[in-house]
Homo-oligomer: A and B are copies of this chain.
Amino acid sequence: MASHAFRPVTHHHTFAAHPPALSVAPGDTIRTHTVDAAGVDADGSRVAARGNPLTGPIRVEGAEPGDHLAVHLNAVTPNRTHGFGRASLAPGVLDPDFLAEVGAEAAHDGAAWQVDAGAGTVTLTHPSSPIEGLVLPLAPMLGCIGVAPAGGQAISTATSGPHGGNMDYRRLGGGVTVYLPVFVPGASLFVGDAHALQGDGEMSGTGVEISADVHLTVDLVEGVPIGWPRGEDDTHRFTLGNARPLDQATQHATTEMVRWLMRDHGWDAATAGLFLSQCVRYELGNMFDPAYTVACKVPHDALARVGA
Query: A interface vs B, CB < 8 Å?
Result: 13-14, 16, 51, 85-108, 111, 122, 124, 127, 129-131, 133-136, 151-156, 158, 197-204, 206-208, 243-248, 250-252, 254-255, 258-259, 265-284, 287, 290, 292, 302, 305-306, 308
Beyond known contacts A91-B100, A102-B269: 17 more, CB 8 A cutoff: A14-B152, A85-B274, A85-B277, A91-B97, A93-B250, A96-B251, A98-B255, A100-B104, A105-B269, A135-B305, A151-B156, A199-B278, A199-B280, A200-B282, A202-B277, A243-B244, A247-B287
> Contacts A95-B255, A108-B270: A203 and B154 contacting too (C-beta < 8 A)?
no
Residue of B106, B135, B154, B246 touching A247 (CB-CB under 8 A): B246
Which chain B residues border A266 with CB–CB below 8 Å? Answer: 130
> Which of chain B's residues has its CB closest to A227's CB?
B95
Residue of B86, B95, B104 touching A252 (CB-CB under 8 A): B95
> Which of chain B's residues has its CB closest to A246's CB?
B246
Residue of B14, B96, B198, B305 touching A134 (CB-CB under 8 A): B305
Q: Is there an interface contact between B93 and A270, defined as CB atoms closer than 8 Å?
A: no
Question: Which of A124, A130, A283 counts the most chain B CB atoms within 10 A?
Answer: A130
Sample (20) of A-B pairs whose CB atoms are under 8 Å apart: A88-B274, A90-B96, A91-B97, A93-B250, A94-B258, A95-B255, A100-B103, A100-B107, A105-B269, A106-B270, A130-B266, A131-B267, A136-B302, A151-B156, A154-B154, A200-B282, A204-B273, A246-B246, A250-B284, A282-B284
> Contacts A153-B154, A258-B89: A203 and B277 contacting too (C-beta < 8 A)?
yes
Q: Is there an interface contact between B96 and A290, defined as CB atoms closer than 8 Å?
A: no
Residue of B130, B203, B206 touching A276 (CB-CB under 8 A): B203
Q: Is there an interface contact between B152 and A88, defined as CB atoms closer than 8 Å?
A: no
> Which of chain B's residues has its CB closest to A170's CB?
B281
Which chain B residues border A252 with CB–CB below 8 Å? Answer: 95
Residue of B129, B272, B281, B302 touching A274 (CB-CB under 8 A): B129
